[in-house]
Amino acid sequence: MSLRTIDSLGDLKGKNVLVRCDLNVPLKDGRITDDGRIRASLPTLNRLIQAGARVIIVSHLGRPDGEPNSKFSLAPVAQRLSELLGKAVVFAADTVGSAAADSVAGLDDGDVVVLENLRFNAHETSKVAGEREQFAAQLATLGDAFVSDGFGVVHREQASVYELAKALPSAAGLLIRQELDVLERLTVTPDKPFTVVLGGSKVSDKLAVIGALLPKVDRLLIGGGMLFTFLVAQGHRVGASLLETDQVEVVKGYLAEAERLGVEIILPTDIVVASAFSADADHLVTAAEAIEDTVFGAAGLGLDIGPETSDRFAQAIADSKTVFWNGPMGVFELAPFAAGTRAVASAMTTFDGFGVVGGGDSAAAVRALGFNDDQFGHISTGGGASLEFLEGKSLPGLEVLGWQR
């Protein structure tokens, strides 16, 4: 079977269509700080509006632990969605209660309603299939069809992702199709040279991706907190930098495997080391093998790749035809340690090839550093889902829509 598309649902005029979006955007003091995921949902929503569907949007936001919590309300998201769509968007203060039922009953063709946070109901993420099925059945009473478009959650068996797709005629939205096209391009037919840039804090989060991609890539660039486990695997000391000692031997194995396959692994040659985890901390640049030889001694913290490494990474990207990047190069939220991430982002906007920013912290970083989405080949909306796809794992939210590898 192939992935079912919106066309498979037939004429949607006058139909109630439940749409599972991923509108899990960052909020600060009730204000949205990055609306990238909301904007990514617009093509599918506009397609349904133009078809005359009555659009019922469901999503999660944060981790409210199965109980209503105003801190995680989707009300600000509904307001921003109204601005982006250029039309009124109704907000219902519950998911399967009277507010939702009344709001849906009041819809006309082309109208849109956003239901409250799915995760205010503990059955949305329950480990018990029967509880998820019960919640999905309640949601299904509101709709005639279901469109799954939250790529960031397709790796989860959750009521609104998996069971709801079984309870109603279902199809994938345009965002999911786009994300799959990009990931299949990376894994099946990447133009060479193919470079993967990995960062972020924990090497353990990326080991399966490294293992899956090593036979396919030409070079692997390592930054972020995970780089220190690689340095220790090479015999260096890293002071008080982030380190996963239980992964050192595994990393040694990957270094050996890369050498066997002829894959170039580029590790940082210089590091920005600080006296503390703070924007105000004293900091300096030192050679990667000399982190403990600075004035900070064994208390020194590596918080970014250095300028020499940044230039080397940028050159490796420039020499590539395909680049996949997941994970910042340093603590980009603190200005003194953002240069490495900015250098990688800048290189990805100018090289002559196809560049993919792998969602999650990477997407947040490029926007926080002032880059626009259209400067990149693609910015994924699904950090974890993208990684699990690349690892070759099962993605239940796609398989239930007819997708097969």
219 annotated ligand binder: no
Annotation-wise, does 24 bind a ligand? yes
Q: Which residue in 14, 66, 384, 402 is the catalytic one? A: 384
Can 150 be counted among the known catalytic residues?
no
| Tokens standing for residue 172 | 């994938």
Catalytic (active site) residue 384 = yes
Known catalytic membership, residue 97: no
Q: Check 200, 327, 340, 360 and give the catalytic one.
A: 360
163 is in an annotated binding site: no
User: Token pair 């926007």 is at which residue?
Assistant: 367
Which of 15, 37, 80, 342 is catalytic? The answer is: 37
Listing DSSP states for 221-288 in one string gives EE-STTHHHHHHHTT---TTS---GGGHHHHHHHHHHHHHHTPEEE--SEEEEESSSSTTS-EEEEEG
Find out whether 185 is annotated in a ligand binding site: no
* 258-273 b/e (C-beta count within 10 Å ≥ 16 → b): beeeebebbbbebbbb
Q: Please, are residues 76 and 23 in contact by the beta-carbon 8 Å criterion?
A: no
Catalytic residue among 202, 216, 252, 321: 202
Q: Are 311 and 317 in contact (CB under 8 A)?
A: no
Is position 37 annotated in a ligand binding site? yes
Report the alpha-carbon distance of residue 123 to residue 129 in Å, rounded: 9
Q: Is 60 annotated as a binding residue?
A: yes
- Is 156 annotated to bind ligand? yes
Is 361 annotated to bind a ligand? Reply is yes
Residue whose token pair is 């190069």: 329
333 is in an annotated binding site: yes
Torsion sign across C-alpha atoms 240, 387, 234, 295: negative
359 is in an annotated binding site: yes
164 assigned binding-site residue: no
Per the annotation, does 380 bind a ligand? Answer: no
312 is in an annotated binding site: no
Specify whether 383 is catalytic: no
Adjacent-strand bridge partners of 16: 54
Closest C-alpha among 39, 41, 49, 4 to residue 21? 41
Annotated binding site for substrate: which residue ranges? 22-24, 37, 60-63, 119, 156
Annotated binding site: which residue ranges? 22-24, 37, 60-63, 119, 156, 206, 302, 333, 359-362
Annotated binding site for ATP: which residue ranges? 206, 302, 333, 359-362
Annotated binding site for (2R)-3-phosphoglycerate: which residue ranges? 37, 119, 156
Catalytically annotated residues? 37, 202, 360, 384
